[in-house]
Amino acid sequence: MKAASRIFRALADPTRRQILQELKTGELAAGEIASRFPISGPSISRHLAILKSADLVSERREGNRILYRLEPEEIAGAVGDFLSTVCPTQILHRRRAKKERAS
């Protein structure tokens, strides 16, 4: 449950949710992410660190740049697990979706 708490805490901030939106189209360097927001680079770095510690984004080095990538499976898993506990019919939807993806 600790992982789910980290994920939901990370998702609670609108700036972090917007960072995730920016990453849904592909990897971005930290500087590219920062240029899309009206806040300082160090603030963006703190947001990225929180997202990374929640396993919602991953990073890789390319030369002197750090590229960030969305980890959608982590988000889907945490939200799906939460919905399954508060809405048992969600379990059936997840199983059906999993079967469709496997087909």
CATH of the domain at 24: 1.10.10.10
Q: Is the dihedral of CA 10, 14, 22, 36 positive or negative?
A: negative
Overall domain count for the chain: 1
What is residue 73's predicted lDDT score, i.e. its pLDDT? 87
Residue at token pair 């920016």:
22
Structure tokens belonging to residue 65 = 């740049």
What is residue 24's predicted lDDT score, i.e. its pLDDT? 94
β-sheet bridge partners, residue 57: 70
Structure tokens belonging to residue 68 = 């960030």
pLDDT along the chain (103 residues), means of 10: 84 96 96 95 96 95 95 85 72 73 77
23 lies in which domain range? 2-102
Cβ–Cβ under 8 Å, residues 69 and 60: yes
What is residue 1's predicted lDDT score, i.e. its pLDDT? 54
pTM: 0.78
Closest CA to 30 of 17, 19, 38, 21: 19
